[in-house]
Amino acid sequence: MSKMEDMLSGLRRVVTANDADGKSHIMIDGGPADEFRTGDLGGLLEIWHDEASGPLDAQPCDDKGAGTPILSPDRGKVKIRWFTAGPTPEGAPPEMIADLTRQAFVAIGAGDHQPDTSKHPAMHTTHTLDAIILVKGRVRLILDKEETVIGPGDVVIQRATNHAWAVDNDEPALFVAVLVDRT
């Protein structure tokens, strides 16, 4: 089992709801709703996708079988997910990493979200306001003009800026992200 597989084993989401009588219960207790992974380079593991405001629906809005995760939430919605970043494989040609990264962004509906990848092949923008919490690992948050190291428990408020995440050692990183549509 790879370090990434080991880190992802046991991810659990518990979603609560009220029944027809208004009594709270566990609606979902299990793993991610869906996932998109590029081997040990990284991936998206969906937890929930729902309206950002208004009443809560009694039915799950994002459960198994929804298909390949898309980077951003739909218009007026919020998306909650785990996401991963793996270390760059030793000896991997930069052109290969750039090509795999580009293919991954296209696959998750974000082919047009990469205006400038000159600092890192995973640089991208979104139209969302994100709260991103690093759970495991150590990463560099790369921005156009600067970068900083993020450790477990650190929270980044990502405000629709061009950015990338790069693992700062040989251990994969696990994040939790809440993305709120701002369009």
Beta bridge partners of 40: none
pLDDT at 171 over 90: yes
Which residue type does 177 have? A
Question: Looking at the predicted structure, is the pLDDT value of residue 53 above 90?
Answer: no
Give 74-98 pLDDT, tens digit per residue: 999 999 999 999 999 999 999 999 9
Within 8 A by CB and 6+ apart from 114, the residues are 102, 105, 123, 124, 125
Say what the pTM is.
0.87
SS (H, E, C) 76-111: CEEEEEEEEECCCCCCCCHHHHHHHHHHHHHHCCCC
CA–CA distance, 58 with 75 (Å, rounded to integer): 20
Give per-residue pLDDT as tens, 138-169.
Answer: 999 999 999 999 999 999 999 999 999 999 99
How confident is the model over 103-117, as a mean pLDDT? 95
CB 139 within 8 A of CB 85: yes
Joined tokens for residue 6: 């080991």
Q: Which domains does the chain have, with CATH numbers?
A: 3-181 (2.60.120.10)
Spatial distance between the Cα atoms of 90 and 105, rounded to a whole number of angstroms: 22
Which element (helix H / strand E) includes 30? strand 24-30
Q: Name the percent of the chain lying above pLDDT 90.
A: 78
Amino acid at 53: S
